[in-house]
Amino acid sequence: PGMPVLPFREIRIGIPEKAAVNIQIIKTESEIRNDILVAPAPYPYKDRSGMSNYKYIIDETEYNKTDSLQLKVVHAFPPRRMRNIMTQRLRIHPFRYNPLSQELTIITSVTIKITYPEAPKTSSRLSLRRDRFESMYPRTLLNYDRAKNWRSAPASIKSKQAFLPAGDWYQVEIKEDGIYKITPQTLQSAGIDITGLNINAIQMFNNGGRYLSHNVQDNWYNPPYSKEIPLFIKDQNSNNIFDGNDYLLFFGKNVNGWFYNPSTRDIEFSQHPFANANQYLLSVSGSNGLRMQEELLENLPSAPVRTYYIDRFHFEEDINNILSSGPDWYGKRFIGLSDSYSKEFSVNYNPVENVNPYFRIKFKGGSRVEYGDNKSYRYYFTIAINNQALIQGGTFTDYNIWTYTKTIISQNTLLNGSNSLKIAYWAKDNIETTAYLDWFEVFFSTNLNAQNNYINFYTDTGSEALRYTLTGYSAVNDIFVLDVTDATVPKIIQKNLTGNQPINLDIPQSSGEKNLIAFSLSSAAIKSSPQLKKIDTPQDLLAIDNSADFIIITHQSFVSQAYQIAQLRSPELTVKVVTTDDIYVNFNTGVQDPTAIRNFIRYAYYNWQPLMPAYVLLFGDGHYDYRHIQLSDSIRVPSYEIYDAVELNSRTTDNYYVDTEYTGDLTFTSLDPELAIGRIPVQTSEEAEIFINKLKNYENNPARDGWQTVFTFVGDDRYTTPSETPSEVRHQNDADSLTKLTELIKFNIRKIYLSTYQTSPGGVFGRIKPTASRDLIDHFNEGSLIINYLGHGSPTQWAHEELFVMQRDLSKLKNDHKLAFVIAATCDFGKYDNPDAPCFSEKLVLKENGGAIGVLSAARLVDAIQNSRFNEDFYQNLYPNGNPSVRLGDAWREAVSTGSNDQKFHLFADPTMYLNDPRGMVKITEISSDTLRALSTVTVNAEIQSNDRPDINFNGGAYLIVNDARYDSIDTNIDLNNPTNRYNPVILSGPYIFKGELSVNNGMLEGNFIVPKSIRYKNSKTGRATLYAWNEQGTQTAMGYVNDLLFIGSESSDDSEGPEIDIYFKDHENFLSGDLIKQSPMLIAEINDESGINITGEVGHTISMQIDNDAVKDISDFFSYEKDSYTDGKIEYPMDNLTAGEHTMNLQVYDNVNNPAESAINFRISTSAGLDLQNVVNYPNPFKSSTKFTFQTNSDGADVTIKIYTLTGRLIQELYGSSNSGYNDSIEWNGRDRDGDKIANGVYLYKIILSDGQEKK
């Protein structure tokens, strides 16, 4: 942010394996433009309401540079494998800019020559695995025709034929470093039969305790899978059987502690960001178990003698996560103008002459991390140990990190035993600030004197050879020395003895720091093993015959639902369902670490045969608090959190899991996914079932009314907060640019642009657009294949004008058979990883009976420029060359770039699913007239085609949608300071003229409609007819369109009668005015007229509904004609959250001649907060052979009991049934008692009891 925005383009080429690429600029043509002030990239931030916003702040340093920016026309990135082909990514910069002189050079043409050594074809001699992304290469690689000849299978990661030995597995939890002992009795207490247990069958696995490395090329802390560690086993009777007084020892390492850093060769403290304890796996069913090996050290009798070592103390308390994001946690929070803190700590300090202790401390600035705050903050600290000052006025600023190291000159400052650290903090310029203590450390000398025959110590870095002399042992004959620098490969160290005492350990020069433990085998300091916990036998994920196209990773709680997804995708795809527990066991010995999931996917990608995985679904919710420091919510499938000091770049991304070759640093500025990945953030089994049912209905039982051909684009206006200048026109402009993509030309495009709606006072920012909000809800409920928003947002809202608000609008979505795929190119709308503040995206995906089938949205602040680019790339890859959609994951995989902005976008959907757009073609062969006149009857003929011929085997239905000519909108957002500051006119699709179902027989169809009098009479061939067709089996769909219809002129009509109207409610066909109905019913109105119904929505001629004295609502778009009719149809309109009490509804309708008709009804909504039972009556009464007891309730599915009595109170019959909320329920009685006998003539009493399991009425 703040730098000039200079667009670029990236391309990929395929290259031979290990080829050296040479790039030459052969020719360029350019032009220069002066006095050009290139706008800076905006700074995204959150305002105080939580809404995203942008500030355009010029970085003065960048804009005062005299050198041109982007002198290099082509930048080549390091070669990178893209599945089966080695590739080179090139970034082309067509602009150069001198900020100071404001001179812009535009390269209008460039010729680039790329050379590389020719290579022989490889695909013919390689056994390549099947790749689901094969169709991706021609669209992605500029030179695919040549590059396809250089395909090579990725080199396999070292793999095992089988992971774990057969039999049971046991887990040992370790929370403290030490030597642990396991005896035969330990095994017996865990239920293990040790009879004849061969010592060689005992194996143990662990990855060393530290969190796994993100860099796939790291040699340390990056095992490809769970690693076997060597044990020391004492076979007391040498019978090779683990029995009697035998025992085994292993070194147990906690996840938090001192670990060797191979890059610095130092031992440094590491706090595990994902786990609180280490897990060791024990098997007694293996063979050839690893045993500790002895390391022979060179005897160095002349080396200087050391009788001390540098011990260390580290204090770190994780209680605060500044942004509720990222894996970084901090301790004490210093807040306000001044604050203080003290901490008692204890060390075993033995002063040594000329060896000074030293102190390290780390702070993190907590101001200027949120809300785009541009103030400057400064922190001051004074730090003392035992009231002796170490640091006076240490200072740093803003969101920065400050690490300070101080040598303690005075040996009296640090005491042996208890010590006190005191920190005083204050802020500069009386500006309240916030800062955090991260940790502090003290390094000090300690004698090499064993306690309880045990000492754990550290050697120096090895600048010289040293002899370490250890004392304090009661005897030396059973002293063991272990090198545990690498906790996964502990080694037995040779020791030198001088008589009985001391023990000498000779460490050669340049050996790096080592962690050594010297102990007696009989030492009381050896720890008894914690309890062995038997675990479920994990799935073997290392076997290379685990072949799959699609991997579903889920929590154990959702396995059954995950298998339902697998069944939906089989047999077209081979699917593997894997639990996170199995991944952790296979790849990190049971310790939770998101990188274990990355390593699993990487292993499967490189090793599984014969299929090469292409898709991953994370079926479960995750959040930022891996260790449950503040949040108690379960992590089902972890998110991957990336730390950054400020809100803009702190983020969560699933892209990390599918970048199988990441070698960058912890900023993750470049992640390049190799597989497509999606996430369904389910937290409960109920949510999992809801999603499965939605997915099944979407694919197998969608509504057939043409919603599959509709796109809705939603663009924010230029207004944000009242204090901001109304200048952000790009959201609407970007949205409108998307509507013009050639890939989308076949679809019906509908637009909701806030600039075209009137503003009303209200809301947090004083301005709302309720009509736009209602239109958006209507577009959801009418049905749209995709709803695409560009603009400002928050986790729960679109636009400052409160266009779409989770708390208010989620319940209004009644589109269960018309689920949209939602694209939200806005900030935070997909911020799913904070369970204390659920986001709208996850609510849409997991809403029962409505919402969305999937959402593509960002989980953090994002940049509008990059959002628009990503949005466009997604469409171009979703509909390549205008063809039917590819799988969602394919489009995402090809559209996503490596940068941090795209990393924030999550695909909350099954990546293997196809959208419901039609796959085949309908050809409109004839429309009865070139000029369509008002009140004329028009005939449309069409055919379903297969291979450019009529498909005579296609029988079913089709839905015809006809629109009037396109028209210009009017910008209603007038800038009061500059009334001419408006958007350019927006072209909107014409109003509906006809929507109705037609029959398809033998691939042919014919339909009629009447052109309404209310057309716009534009002399413009921009009217449109769209046909969506489906076969009887629901297995085939097709669509076709024409977009050059001319509606002009008029014919006469003698029709003077308005339409006939019959109003009722869904599942309540026998509705009578005054009945009790549901609070959120589906209104149905059957309407017919010989001239057809006017659905254009023309002002004064709409289908309008009014409840009581509320605003009149236009519901014209919800009308649809009956099958093969152009005179009869009906409205199905979802009503929402009606208030309790009695209501009157008025419905007004016009026919195509504009003859009006009205109908009014009364209805009641229950006023009871609990169960309600009304209008109880039986009919007929009196009766001869049977009667029906009718009643109305406000509860679905409640149990109903009817008890029938004589006048004396004797119970003669009980009847049972269930209720249907708001409707005339009835239970029939045949007039017989419980014995089956007919009752005698007379008067009887009855009682109806309603029960929902919690309440009776």
**pTM attached to this predicted model:** 0.91
139-147, Cβ contacts within 8 angstroms, sequence gap of 24 or more: 139/877, 139/880, 139/894, 140/12, 140/82, 140/894, 141/12, 141/13, 141/14, 141/82, 141/85, 141/87, 142/11, 142/12, 142/13, 143/13, 143/14, 144/14, 146/14, 147/13, 147/14, 147/15, 147/85, 147/87
Q: What is the pLDDT of residue 314?
A: 98
Question: Is the residue at 264 inside a domain?
Answer: yes
Q: What is the pLDDT of residue 723?
A: 54
Q: Which of 311, 306, 299, 295 is nearest to 482 (CA)?
A: 295
Question: Is the residue at 580 inside a domain?
Answer: no
Beta strands 1225-1229 and 1211-1218: pairing type? unpaired
Judge contact between 151 and 85, C-beta under 8 A. yes
**Residue 755, helix vs strand vs coil:** helix
Q: d(Cα 1191, Cα 1171) in Å, to the nearest integer?
A: 13
Angle between helices 685-700 and 559-569 (to 10 degrees): 10
Cβ-based burial of 498 (10 A; exposed 0-12, middle 13-18, buried ≥19): exposed
Q: Are residues 380 and 245 in the same domain?
A: no
Last residue of a domain, one of 422, 447, 472: 447
SS3 content of the chain, % helix, strand, coil (to 5): 15, 40, 50
Question: Is the residue at 1119 inside a domain?
Answer: yes
Q: Are residues 1042 and 962 in the same domain?
A: yes
State the Cα angle at 59 between 54 and 65, rounded to 5°.
150
CA distances from 776 to 719, 779, 810, 813 (A): 19, 5, 12, 10
State the residue for tokens 């080829």.
19
Q: What is the pLDDT of residue 1027?
A: 98
Structure-block tokens of residue 733: 């402009």
State the residue for tokens 């027989």.
1001
The greatest distance separating any two alpha carbons of the chain, rounded to the nearest whole angstrom, comes to 126
Q: Are residues 885 and 902 in the same domain?
A: yes
Question: Is the residue at 1207 inside a domain?
Answer: yes
CATH code, domain with 36: 2.60.40.3800
Q: Are residues 881 and 969 in the same domain?
A: no
CATH code, domain with 781: 3.40.50.1460
Q: Which residues pair with 678 in a beta bridge?
A: 617
User: H or E element: which one contains 585?
Assistant: helix 580-588
Q: What is the DSSP letter of 137?
A: H
Q: Which of 819, 821, 798, 796 is nearest to 806 (CA)?
A: 796
Residue 386: which domain range? 333-447
Q: Are residues 339 and 459 in the same domain?
A: no
Alpha helical stretches, state H, 837-953: 840-846, 864-878, 888-895, 900-903
CATH code, domain with 1075: 2.60.40.1220
Q: Which of 779, 782, 735 is nearest to 754 (CA)?
A: 735
Judge contact between 1026 and 709, C-beta under 8 A. yes
Q: What is the pLDDT of residue 1173?
A: 85
Q: What is the 3-state secondary structure (H, E, C) of 341-383?
A: EEEEEEECCCCECCECCEEEEEEEECCCCCCCCCCCCEEEEEE
State the residue for tokens 């305790």.
209
Mean pLDDT of the chain: 91
Last residue of a domain, one of 403, 419, 447: 447
Q: Are residues 1089 and 1038 in the same domain?
A: no
CATH code, domain with 1180: 2.60.40.4070
Question: Is the residue at 607 inside a domain?
Answer: no
Q: Count CA atoms closer than 13 A to 469's CA, side-chain side.
A: 12
Judge contact between 708 and 1028, C-beta under 8 A. yes
Q: Are residues 290 and 410 in the same domain?
A: no
CATH code, domain with 946: 2.60.40.1940
Q: d(Cα 277, Cα 938) in Å, to the nearest integer?
A: 75
Distance from the first to the final alpha carbon of the chain = 64
- At 472-502, the pLDDT tens digits run 998 888 889 999 999 999 999 977 665 566 8
Number of domains, the chain: 7
Average pLDDT by stretches of 10, the chain with 1257 residues: 85 86 90 90 76 81 78 85 86 90 91 82 53 80 87 69 74 96 96 96 96 91 91 96 96 97 90 97 93 89 94 98 93 96 97 92 90 80 94 90 87 92 91 94 96 94 88 87 96 74 86 92 87 92 92 98 97 97 96 98 92 96 97 95 84 96 90 96 98 97 96 90 64 94 96 93 91 97 98 95 96 96 97 95 97 98 93 96 95 93 97 97 96 97 95 98 91 53 76 98 98 95 97 96 96 96 90 88 96 96 96 96 98 92 96 98 84 88 93 83 94 88 79 93 94 80
Q: What is the pLDDT of residue 125?
A: 37
Q: d(Cα 1021, Cα 1015) in Å, to the nearest integer?
A: 13
Q: What is the torsional sign of CA 543, 548, 554, 560?
A: negative
- CB-based contacts of 898: which residues, under 8 Å, 6+ apart? 670, 671, 672
Judge contact between 761 and 723, C-beta under 8 A. no
Q: d(Cα 1192, Cα 1197) in Å, to the nearest integer?
A: 12
Q: d(Cα 339, Cα 316) in Å, to the nearest integer?
A: 19
State the residue for tokens 């069409």.
942
Q: What is the pLDDT of residue 498?
A: 57
Question: Is the residue at 158 inside a domain?
Answer: no
**Residue 895, helix vs strand vs coil:** helix
What DSSP string describes 616-637?
A: EEEES---S-TT-SS--S--SS
State the residue for tokens 């009798």.
301
Q: d(Cα 516, Cα 505) in Å, to the nearest integer?
A: 10
Question: Is the residue at 939 inside a domain?
Answer: yes
Q: Are residues 1219 and 1107 in the same domain?
A: no
- CB-based contacts of 302: which residues, under 8 Å, 6+ apart? none
Q: Are residues 63 and 175 in the same domain?
A: no
The torsion angles phi and psi of 1185, rounded to 5 degrees, stand at: -115, -30
Q: Are residues 1011 and 1147 in the same domain?
A: no
Question: Is the residue at 592 inside a domain?
Answer: no
Last residue of a domain, one of 148, 179, 200: 148
Q: Are residues 924 and 1044 in the same domain?
A: yes
Q: What is the pLDDT of residue 124?
A: 41
Q: Are residues 453 and 443 in the same domain?
A: no
Q: Which of 577, 579, 535 is nearest to 555 (CA)?
A: 579
